[in-house]
Amino acid sequence: MQDVLMAGIIASATCLVSGPLLIPFLRRLKFGQHIRTDGPKGHLQKAGTPTMGGIMFFLSLTLGTLLVRGLTTEIAIMLLVTLGFGIIGFLDDFIKVVMKRPLGLKAREKLLGQIILAGLLAYAAMVNLGRGTEVLIPGTALSFSLSWLYIPFAIFVVVSASNAVNLTDGLDGLAAGVTLFSALAYLLITEAWGLVDLSVFSGALVGTCLGFLFFNIHPARVFMGDTGSLALGGAIGALAVVTKTELLLPLLGGIYVLETLSVIIQVISFRLTGKRVFRMSPLHHHFELSGWSEQSVVLVFWTGAALFASIAVAMVL
């Protein structure tokens, strides 16, 4: 546990030190957030707030893990996947903010990159980490093998996790706070199972979220952008794959699931009936438009994330 604590401290300190350097730099480059005009009107005042703050995740996660454990196979795989998803997000942000293409990367380009990275993760976990093709059944000591179906299953899990975190990133402190609880759950699980490298990585992920929240909590001084949200989602998805807890992830990351389902339901309802189920999706915007303050929505979602993560940990341990 001492290594885990040290990884978290290093990662958090790295964010706290790099933030005051990165944020003015992003502001000078005019890497400001574009705000949707059809969203909550209170968000319009956030226009121009520096985005792509997820860049600091690259440094904090790398230092937090490497300085404590060194470059082991597990840590190399976790970092490469996390940074790989972050680079996809960086390209998307760069195209939106710098090249002034509001839609960023084309959907098929982004999805292709995510699928390739998730596929490489699944293969590396099976071959280099000896993970096999078994998936644990939550709450039991049982597992089952997916055989050749495992790689497409793992790809679906990781890509879904990455995009779900991306959807959750819509309010100050929301995605970082929710991910903090998911990472903390994996820290407890991997520590209990004796997976030292993964617990150190999870500790660094917790520290990264804590450090970033210092700048991202309302009123946010910087947004993580797709650079950060895709990286966080890739990290959580990778932890699920390597620990064989893919089936636990929908509970452990319950807020991500609710946010994603709200978008799916909204799209299907509007296309079939021409009516919307929610005032706006993802779900956090529905509550904002229902009169909740941004801080209230974030606090309730954080509480929900803590509850989901606690239940998941209790089931496993």
Query: Phi and psi for 145 in degrees, rounded to 5?
Result: -100, 135
Number of domains in the chain: 1
173 pLDDT higher than 60: yes
- In a domain, residue 258? The reply is no
Q: Read off the pLDDT band of 37 (50, 70, 90).
A: low
9 pLDDT higher than 70: yes
144 pLDDT higher than 90: yes
**Per 3-state DSSP, what percentage of the chain is helix, strand, and coil (rounded to 5)?**
70, 5, 25
34 pLDDT higher than 90: no
As a whole number of angstroms, the distance between CA 161 and CA 233 comes to 5
| The predicted structure's pLDDT at residue 311 | 97
| The predicted structure's pLDDT at residue 305 | 98
| The predicted structure's pLDDT at residue 97 | 81
Is there a binding annotation on residue 226?
A: yes
- In a domain, residue 311? The reply is no
- Is the Cα dihedral 153, 268, 92, 230 positive or negative? negative
As a whole number of angstroms, the distance between CA 21 and CA 265 comes to 41
- In a domain, residue 295? The reply is no
- In a domain, residue 145? The reply is yes
As a whole number of angstroms, the distance between CA 270 and CA 148 comes to 37
Global pTM? 0.94
- In a domain, residue 309? The reply is no
**Using one digit for the tens of pLDDT, what is the confidence trace for 188-240?**
999 999 999 999 999 999 999 999 999 999 999 999 999 999 999 999 999 99
| The predicted structure's pLDDT at residue 98 | 76
- In a domain, residue 316? The reply is no
19 pLDDT higher than 60: yes
112 pLDDT higher than 90: yes
Query: Which structural domain, as residue segments, surrounds residue 80?
Result: 2-250
Whether 40 and 238 have beta carbons less than 8 Å apart is answered as: no
Query: Phi and psi for 75 in degrees, rounded to 5?
Result: -65, -40
Ordered DSSP codes for 215-276: HHSSSPS---HHHHHHHHHHHHHHHHHHTT-TTTHHHHTHHHHHHHHHHHHHHHHHHHHS--
Looking at the chain, how many residues does it have?
Answer: 317
The mean of the pLDDT values for the chain is: 93
As a whole number of angstroms, the distance between CA 55 and CA 220 comes to 16
Q: Read off the pLDDT band of 29 (50, 70, 90).
A: confident
- In a domain, residue 196? The reply is yes
* Residue whose token pair is 């929900």: 304
36 pLDDT higher than 70: no
Is there a binding annotation on residue 166?
A: yes
The tokens for 89 are 């997000």
* Gyration radius (Cα) of the chain, Å: 19
| The predicted structure's pLDDT at residue 186 | 98
